[in-house]
Amino acid sequence: MTRYRQPGTVQTDHRFTVPLDHADPSGEQIELYAREVVAAGREDSDLPWLVYLEGGPGFGARRFVGQQAWLGRALREFRVLLLDQRGTGLSSPVNRQTLPLRGGPREQADHLAHFRADSIVRDCETVRPRLTGGAPWTVLGQSFGGFCATHYLSTAPEGLATVLITGGLPSLHAHADDVYRAAYPRIERKVAAHYARYPQDVQRARDIAAHLAAHPTVTPSGYTLTPEAFQSLGLGLGVGDGSHQLHHLLEGAFVPTPGGPALSDAFLENVQAALSFAGHPLYALLHESIYGQGQEPTAWAAERVRAEFPRFDAAAALAGDGPLPLTGETIHPWHFEVDPALRPLRETAELLAARTDWAPLYDPARLAANEVPVAAAVYHDDMYVDTAHSLETARAIRGLRTWVTDEFEHDGVRAGGPRVLDRLLALARDET
């Protein structure tokens, strides 16, 4: 283990080996990386543990500097473990470069089937006794991390002292089709709110999409920017400053050139940074699989369901005179054509979309008998997780207390971290 200091904290790197397939504990092993963080001066104190499960899927734990966001509040009483979930960050990374070591697309898809919430929770239960001596710990789950925490409550509640969930209460029963059928109207509302705040962006977005339709464009790093790909910048509208960031991006899109107006290199570079899955390919590969339960394939649910909402069609929008609709947290087959980080994985993604052997993720009976203190922040009209689904699940988990708020967007635990974490701890402890 390596120990080092940052402002106000002492951090320790941990590496663990866990089975790729927990049903075969003597089989292939993979590596997990996690960063332990404790307040400076308390590194030798006997503190309870809190493990943080990042959103996603496909993102490593956030790299904090010092006591940023919610971390400072947590360090007042916890020893915190920032876990890179399997395949992310420094935990045996999975991407277009490493997956060919598994073989062809079929072998790659079979490998990726072990990277959902069920395996992540088994990883946590393998790691926990090594760190806590067997004591239960508190779990803080953001977004997909909350999905993992709900699975944790379903399968290993004995490992949990408290569960805190922010923007991540999943439906216990919904198929991916149901998830996206509920999502597209929320996306419309977020886009309409953006255009109402920045009406000048209506024409800017139309001009950019029309330019891309007439002039196929490849960014300096090889991303093929199509009108549909441009629409997906709407993904950022679900976080606190997302609308403002999108506005700043659009206002500098064009520069004059001898051949007429063109999209600037700076704009294309920034768009590439916003849209590329190079740093988190599992998000694209597994996004619909996190909803897979039972024998029905997800089968590119977001793409199929979008056909029920024809107003999202870019060509139709450009043929009319209304605002260009943007899209949100949806993954489509074309992502695996335009993104150089995903192109080699297109067939693997197709096999995952066709898979019919997903294990159930939640146990409603066990959740109804839950005895672990649970508190959840549910963000009103959350762009990424349906509020109605979340509240239905909240009612299904015995003893869960909710804080429903429109003060924050989906990233509330980061944007207002100390306050959000403080409120959830108080709810879980019945102090408010």
Model pLDDT for residues 208-229, shown as the tens digit of each residue: 999 999 998 999 899 999 999 9
Residue 148 sits in the same domain as residue 192 = no
Phi, psi at 272, each rounded to 5° = -55, -45
What pLDDT, on a 0 to 100 scale, did the predictor assign at position 432?
75
Cα(383)–Cα(104) distance, integer angstroms: 36
Q: How far is CA 88 from the centre of its chain?
A: 12
Residue 271 sits in the same domain as residue 200 = yes
CB 108, CB 102: distance < 8 Å: yes
Residue 210 sits in the same domain as residue 340 = yes
144 torsion bin: left (phi>0), alpha (psi -120 to 50), beta (else): alpha
Residue 91 sits in the same domain as residue 215 = no
What pLDDT, on a 0 to 100 scale, did the predictor assign at position 2?
85
- Mean pLDDT over 393-404 rounds to 98
Domain end position, chosen among 336, 353, 370: 353
Q: Which structural domain, as residue segments, surrounds residue 209?
A: 176-353
Domain end position, chosen among 306, 323, 353: 353
**Candidates 92, 151, 410, 411; catalytic one:** 410
287 catalytic? Reply is: no
Nearest 5°: the CA angle 327, 328, 329 is 140
Domain end position, chosen among 353, 374, 391: 353
Give per-residue burial for 250-272: e unless 16+ CB within 10 Å, then b. beebbeeeeeeebbeeebbebbb
357 catalytic? Reply is: yes
Q: How far is CA 92 from the centre of its chain?
A: 19
Residue 155 sits in the same domain as residue 225 = no
Residue 179 carries which side chain, given as an amino acid letter?
A: V
Residue 375 carries which side chain, given as an amino acid letter?
A: A
The dihedral through the CA atoms of 334, 337, 340, 342 has a sign that is positive
The proportion of the chain whose per-residue pLDDT surpasses 90, expressed as a percent, equals 96
Q: Confidence band (pLDDT; 50, 70, 90) for 164?
A: very high
The proportion of the chain whose per-residue pLDDT surpasses 70, expressed as a percent, equals 100
CB 38, CB 76: distance < 8 Å: no
Residue 208 sits in the same domain as residue 148 = no
Cα(307)–Cα(333) distance, integer angstroms: 14
- Please give the structure tokens belonging to residue 298: 């997800």
416 or 162: whose pLDDT is higher? 162
CA distances from 429 to 81, 138, 168, 169, 273 (A): 21, 12, 20, 19, 41
Q: Confidence band (pLDDT; 50, 70, 90) for 39?
A: very high
Residue 180 sits in the same domain as residue 157 = no
Residue 279 sits in the same domain as residue 331 = yes
Residue 190 sits in the same domain as residue 238 = yes
| Domain total of the chain | 2
Give per-residue burial for 366-380: e unless 16+ CB within 10 Å, then b. ebeebebbbbbbbbe
Residue 188 sits in the same domain as residue 310 = yes
Q: Which residues contact 290 (CB under 8 A, 6 or more apart)?
A: 57, 116, 117, 144, 147
Q: Which is nearest to 172 in space by CA: 157, 154, 191?
A: 154
What pLDDT, on a 0 to 100 scale, did the predictor assign at position 213?
97
Its pTM stands at 0.97
CB 362, CB 172: distance < 8 Å: yes
What pLDDT, on a 0 to 100 scale, did the predictor assign at position 299?
97
Residue 160 sits in the same domain as residue 221 = no
406 catalytic? Reply is: no
- Please give the structure tokens belonging to residue 36: 């332990």
Residue 431 carries which side chain, given as an amino acid letter?
A: E
What pLDDT, on a 0 to 100 scale, did the predictor assign at position 295?
84
Residue 68 sits in the same domain as residue 131 = yes
What pLDDT, on a 0 to 100 scale, did the predictor assign at position 410?
94
Instruction: Say which CATH number the domain at 93 has.
Output: 3.40.50.1820
Q: Is the pLDDT of residue 375 over 90?
A: yes
Q: Is the pLDDT of residue 1 over 80?
A: no
Residue-wise pLDDT for 171-213, tens only, equals: 999 999 999 999 999 999 999 999 999 999 999 999 999 999 9
**Candidates 92, 143, 154, 243; catalytic one:** 143
- Mean pLDDT over 326-353 rounds to 97
